[in-house]
Structure formats: C-alpha cells, structure tokens
Amino acid sequence: MNALGLSMIVKMGCICSRESININGHKYMVKERLGEGGFSCVDLVENTTTKKKYALKRITCHSIDDQKIAMQEINYYKKLRHPNIIELVDSTFKGSADIVVQATSEAFLVLPYFKRGTLHDCLTLRSFNKNYIEIKEVLRIFNEICQALKFLHDFTPDPIAHRDLKTANVCLTENMEPVLMDLGSCAPAKVQICGAQDAQKLQDIAAERSSMTYRAPELFHVESYCVIDQRTDIWDVHELVLFMLNVNPSERPFIDDVIAKTGDLKNKIDTIV
Ligand SMILES: Nc1ncnc2c1ncn2[C@@H]1O[C@H](COP(=O)(O)OP(=O)(O)O)[C@@H](O)[C@H]1O
Ligand SMILES: [Mg+2]
C-alpha cells in the first residue's frame, strides 16, 4: 500500500474513533479541544440531533473532595442567572472517585459555545496585529464585567466572590459582550480567618485556584486574624482592566494611576461598583 492509502486509512481511523458522549439522553460528538485549565479540559462538541455546538467542560475528580468541589461549581452555574454570567445547559457525573483504588470520576458541564473565544484570545490577537481595543470599547466591556461582579457581590443571602477573575475567564459573544465564566473558584465572599491554620488553608486554596498575576495581595499573605471579602475581586478587575489597556503587568501601577490615565473611568466605577 502506498503512503497516500496509508494516510487515508489513518485519517478514516481518526474520524471513526471520534469520541461521542451521552449526557442525560443527549448525544454529543467531540469536535476539537478548546482549552485546558489546571483541573479541567474544554472541548467543542455538537449535539448529534440538533447539530447545535456547545463547549463541554470535563473535570476529572480523583477523590470525594474533588467531586464535592466540582458539584459546588455546578451549583454556582445553576444559581447565578445574569446576562453577563455563563449559563449551564446540562451536567452529569460519570464514575465514582475512590482515592484508595485510584479510581477517578468525571464531571461533564455542557455550556454555550462562544465562537469568539475569551477576552484573553481577543486581546492577544489584537495586540499581535497592533489593533488595540478603543478606550470607549474597553470601558463598555469593563462596565458589563462590573455588572456581573455586582450581581455576585450583592447576592443574597450571602455575597459571592469569583476569586479567579481574569481575561481568560471571560468569554465574548458575537456582539463583543463579556460573559463571566469558570465558576470553579467561586466561594462565599466573606471569610473570617481565626488563626494561622485558617490563614494557611485560604492561602493554599488561592495559590491553587487563582492566577498569580491577578491575585489580590491579601490572598498572597493571609493574616492570621482578619476578614477577607469580595474586595479580592476588585483587585482582580483592576488587573483585568490593565490587561485591556495593554499595560505591561510587570509595571503593576496602582489603581489611582490607572484612574488618572483613563479620565472618566472613576465616574463609571463609582456608579457601578
Ligand atoms: N463556553 C466556552 N466557549 C469557548 N471557549 C471556552 C468556553 N469555556 C471554556 N473555553 C475555553 O477553555 C478554557 C478553559 O476553560 P475554563 O472554564 O476557564 O476551565 P479551567 O477551570 O480549567 O480554567 C478557557 O480559557 C477558554 O479558552
Ligand atoms: Mg479558567
């Protein structure tokens, strides 16, 4: 058999072996990998009946605790309904994790697919083409992200903090509207720290679950007796706006400097946050 024949068989093999996943009676065909994070991977999938495309987030769980964390993420998607926060289309668990026999389970989250990708993708592409987003557009996107944050922070009975707000966790709709996603780090906003053990625990969670370049100073070095609240997200949103303004993150200017640079930004923040 010649090389062409062999390559055709290999290609056919790839097509035939394309993975399909059944979620609550709906069959999805896996098309391609969209992204990978520390705890999960996200695939582009197509519903075989409706042909509609979705993003399928899979979280591998190695223990009962991992399963609980994945379940918490699912519950946040379910309870947070806002135009600028991603909705959950469907979800399920397969398998059962058992750390003793090294058995893993997988959580599957069916999410709307955003063709434009994330704000991070958009900024990277624009920076490459030296076609930066106009300030007016930055403010509009920033304003909408703040609306989503305000919804989280005003949530009743208890305010919620996102704790991993960054450009890679914001998707963009066709109309360039930001949609906050990746609710895996969401937690009750107010945390009372009573002692060094509590402080170390929160510091470890922050190190594991939130990105270093965005992390609020109070989560880098958690004090032994203190209260941490949703202001951690305000630090993150300040970092996020710097990325949008294409400010070199290593310069890390203080928020006052940014406000001075962007003129009417302060008025916007006062009315929103
Ligand atoms: N709904 C979606 N539409 C398009 N791309 C997505 C979608 N959800 C996730 N992605 C891609 O997958 C990456 C990882 O997803 P995310 O939910 O942030 O997972 P992790 O918890 O592992 O960080 C994102 O940064 C993005 O590139
Ligand atoms: Mg993420």
Please tell me whether residues 259 and 142 are part of one structural domain. Answer: yes
Please tell me whether residues 224 and 246 are part of one structural domain. Answer: yes
Please tell me whether residues 159 and 249 are part of one structural domain. Answer: yes
- State which ligand 1 atom lies nearest to the alpha carbon of 114: 3
Active-site residue, from 43, 90, 154, 164: 164
Query: CATH number for the domain including 148?
Result: 1.10.510.10
- Nearest Cα residue to 241 out of 137, 102, 99, 100: 137
- State which ligand 1 atom lies nearest to the alpha carbon of 168: 25
**214 pLDDT band (50/70/90 cuts)?**
confident
The pLDDT of residue 89 is above 90: yes
Please tell me whether residues 167 and 245 are part of one structural domain. Answer: yes
- Can you read off the two tokens belonging to residue 138? 């930055």
The pLDDT of residue 72 is above 90: yes
Q: CA 218, CA 221: separation in Å to the nearest integer?
A: 6
Domain end: 112, 135, 169, which one?
Answer: 112
Q: CA 207, CA 177: separation in Å to the nearest integer?
A: 29
The pLDDT of residue 7 is above 60: no
pLDDT value for 265: 64
Query: CATH number for the domain including 37?
Result: 3.30.200.20
pLDDT value for 245: 85
Q: Is 164 in the pocket of ligand 1 (CB under 6 A)?
A: no
- For ligand 1, atom 1: residue with the closest CA: 113
The pLDDT of residue 242 is above 90: no
DSSP, collapsed to helix, strand or coil, labels residue 238 as helix
**13 pLDDT band (50/70/90 cuts)?**
very low
Q: CA 173, CA 129: separation in Å to the nearest integer?
A: 21
- State which ligand 1 atom lies nearest to the alpha carbon of 40: 22
Q: pTM higher than 0.75 for the full model? A: yes
DSSP, collapsed to helix, strand or coil, labels residue 179 as strand
Element (H, E) at 106: strand 105-112
Question: What range does the domain containing 185 cover?
Answer: 119-272
Q: Is 181 in the pocket of ligand 1 (CB under 6 A)?
A: yes
Domain end: 112, 136, 168, which one?
Answer: 112
Please tell me whether residues 25 and 76 are part of one structural domain. Answer: yes
Collect all residues with Cβ–Cβ distance below 8 Å to 195 and sequence separation of at least 6: 224, 225
Domain end: 60, 82, 112, which one?
Answer: 112
Q: Residues 162-187: what's their mean pLDDT? A: 96
Please tell me whether residues 175 and 209 are part of one structural domain. Answer: yes
Q: CA 186, CA 27: separation in Å to the nearest integer?
A: 29
Mutate to test the pocket of ligand 1, among 118, 121, 123, 173 (most ligand atoms within 8 A of CB): 118
- For ligand 1, atom 13: residue with the closest CA: 35
Please tell me whether residues 132 and 10 are part of one structural domain. Answer: no
165 close to 180: Cβ distance less than 8 angstroms = yes
264 is catalytic: no
Please tell me whether residues 184 and 154 are part of one structural domain. Answer: yes
The total number of structural domains that make up the chain: 2
Please tell me whether residues 62 and 178 are part of one structural domain. Answer: no
Q: CA 148, CA 119: separation in Å to the nearest integer?
A: 15
Residues with CB under 5 A from ligand 2 (ion): 37, 169, 182
Mutate to test the pocket of ligand 1, among 57, 90, 243 (most ligand atoms within 8 A of CB): 57
Please tell me whether residues 250 and 160 are part of one structural domain. Answer: yes
Element (H, E) at 93: strand 90-94
Residue 99 Cα to ligand 1 midpoint, Å, equals 27
Collect all residues with Cβ–Cβ distance below 8 Å to 67 and sequence separation of at least 6: 61, 93, 97, 105, 107
Please tell me whether residues 23 and 140 are part of one structural domain. Answer: no
pLDDT value for 259: 58
